[in-house]
Amino acid sequence: MREFGTYGPLMALTIPAAFVIAAAIVQRGLGRERYAVTAALFLLFSIPLLGGGILFLVYGLPWICFDSCPPDIAASISSISRPLLIALSLGAVCCGTGWILALVSLARQRMWLRFSLILLLLPVVILISAVALSQSIQGRLFPHTEDELGIWVMALDYVVLPVALCWPLGTILIHGLPVQPPARSASLNPRRIGQ
């Protein structure tokens, strides 16, 4: 549980920071199209930060045990990866800001189905990632031994990385789906009525 004391405060600040940034943008009163563009820019900027941060973990963490493994790997991860956690937090803030702006844009357009789908993306990503990581090492969130480290890194690479990138990419795709114009019926066509 020591790892939550290390990582918890940093990660707990990401979503409130995203809300503050998104609220500042919303108060500026952008037009409907500008919300979509601003959300897409934040989401696109977050992809390399999130993906790069996770890939750095995947390829950098095995070097913890290069000569010999420390007695507790979870404590070593926090000391080695502080700059990485900052990059991941910035990626989460950018992604969260774009996610919130996409939600605001869809709420203003009254597209409630898309709003619901995008709203569910974040909890689903967090749930799948946490379950995959904890199940890879018998219910703990971070590895403590060398054997656990290898299994944890594989779960990070094959499950968490693609699922984490589904958050910004899914938000962009769902938000950017073309809107179908309402179908016009032939009986209401003024040309046919007059003939």
In this structure, what token pair is assigned to residue 165? 């990138």
Number of other CB atoms surrounding residue 80 within 10 Å? 16
Q: At residue 2, does pLDDT exceed 60?
A: no
How many whole angstroms from its chain centre is CA 43? Answer: 9
Euclidean distance between CA atoms 142 and 80, whole angstroms: 14
pLDDT level of residue 71 (50, 70, 90 thresholds): confident
Give the pLDDT confidence of 124-162 residue by residue, as tens digits.
998 998 888 888 888 777 787 778 888 888 888 898 889
Angle between helices 2-12 and 73-80 (to 10 degrees): 30
pLDDT level of residue 1 (50, 70, 90 thresholds): very low
